[in-house]
A and B are shown apart, each in its own frame.
Chain A
Amino acid sequence: MGKTRLSLLREVIANLTKRPSTIKYPVAREVTVAPGSRGRQYADLMKCIGCSLCAIDCPANAIVMDKLPEPLKHNPRGVYPVVDYGKCIFCYQCVFVCPVKAYITTDVFELADYSTSTSREQSLSTIALGGSR
Chain B
Amino acid sequence: MVVVEIPIGPQHPALHEPIMLKVKTDGEEVVEVAVTTGYNHRGIEKLLEKNSWIRGMYIAGRVCGICNAVHTQTYVQGVEKLMGIEPTPRANYIRTMVMELERIHSHLLICAVMAEIVGFDTLFMLIMRDRERVMHLKELVTGNRVHADIHVLGGVKRDLDEVRRTRILDELRKIEERLKYYKKVYETDYTLVRRLSEVGRISKSDAIRLSLVGPTLRASGIKSDVRSDDPYAAYSEVPFNIEYRDEGDSWARMMVRLDEALESVNIVRYTAEKLPQGPAVPKTVPRAAKPGEVISRVEAPRGELLYHIVSTGGSNPYRVKIRTPSFLNILNTESTYLGHRLADVPVIFASYDPCISCTERVIVVDEKSGKKAYVSLKELARGG
**CB-contact partner of B123 in A2, A8, A60, A89, under 8 A:** A8
B132 proximity list for chain A (CB < 8 A): 21
The range of chain A's interface size is 20 to 34
- The secondary-structure label for the interface of chain B is helix
What is the 8 Å Cβ interface bit string for chain A, positions 21-32, against chain B (1 contact, 0 not)?
A: 100000000000
**CB-contact partner of A3 in B57, B149, B189, under 8 A:** B189
**CB-contact partner of B147 in A3, A34, A57, A89, under 8 A:** A89
What is the 8 Å Cβ interface bit string for chain A, positions 1-32, against chain B (1 contact, 0 not)?
A: 11111011001100000000100000000000
CB distance from A56 to the nearest CB of B (A): 8
What is the 8 Å Cβ interface bit string for chain B, positions 144-180, against chain A (1 contact, 0 not)?
A: 1001010010000110000000000000000000000
Q: Does A120 contact B (CB under 8 A)?
A: no
CB-based contact B143/A38 at 8 Å? yes
A100 proximity list for chain B (CB < 8 A): none
Q: Does B117 contact A (CB under 8 A)?
A: no
- The secondary-structure label for the interface of chain A is loop
CB-based contact A36/B143 at 8 Å? yes
A38 proximity list for chain B (CB < 8 A): 143-144, 149
CB-based contact B52/A96 at 8 Å? no
CB-based contact A11/B126 at 8 Å? yes
Q: Does A111 contact B (CB under 8 A)?
A: no
Interface size on B, residues (CB 8 A): 33
Q: Does A33 contact B (CB under 8 A)?
A: yes
What is the 8 Å Cβ interface bit string for chain B, positions 120-151, against chain A (1 contact, 0 not)?
A: 00110010010010001001100110010100
**CB-contact partner of B129 in A5, A21, A93, under 8 A:** A21
Q: A37-B143, A57-B52, A96-B157 are in contact. Are A8 and B122 (CB under 8 A)?
A: yes
**Bound-state Cα–Cα, A10 to B136, Å:** 26
CB-based contact A7/B185 at 8 Å? yes
Q: A90-B144, A93-B58 are in contact. Are A34 and B139 (CB under 8 A)?
A: yes
B152 proximity list for chain A (CB < 8 A): 96
**Bound-state Cα–Cα, A35 to B158, Å:** 13
CB-based nearest B residue for A57: B54
CB-based contact B149/A92 at 8 Å? yes
B191 proximity list for chain A (CB < 8 A): 5
CB-based contact B189/A7 at 8 Å? yes
Within A30-65, which residues are at the interface with B (CB < 8 Å)? 33-38, 57-60
**Bound-state Cα–Cα, A93 to B57, Å:** 10
CB-based contact B188/A3 at 8 Å? yes
CB distance from B87 to the nearest CB of A (A): 15
**Bound-state Cα–Cα, A23 to B181, Å:** 24
**Bound-state Cα–Cα, A7 to B182, Å:** 10
29 intermolecular pairs with C-beta atoms under 8 Å apart:
A3-B188, A3-B193, A5-B190, A7-B184, A7-B185, A7-B188, A8-B126, A12-B122, A21-B129, A21-B132, A33-B139, A35-B140, A36-B143, A37-B139, A37-B143, A38-B149, A57-B52, A57-B55, A59-B54, A59-B55, A59-B58, A89-B147, A90-B144, A90-B149, A91-B58, A91-B149, A92-B149, A92-B157, A97-B285
Task: Give 11 new A-B contacts, CB below 8 A, not counting A1-B188, A5-B191, A38-B143.
Answer: A3-B189, A4-B188, A4-B189, A8-B126, A11-B181, A35-B140, A37-B143, A37-B144, A59-B55, A91-B147, A92-B143
- Give chain B's interface residues, CB within 8 Å of chain A: 51-52, 54-55, 57-59, 122-123, 126, 129, 132, 136, 139-140, 143-144, 147, 149, 152, 157-158, 181, 184-185, 187-191, 193-194, 285
- Give chain A's interface residues, CB within 8 Å of chain B: 1-5, 7-8, 11-12, 21, 33-38, 57-60, 89-93, 96-97
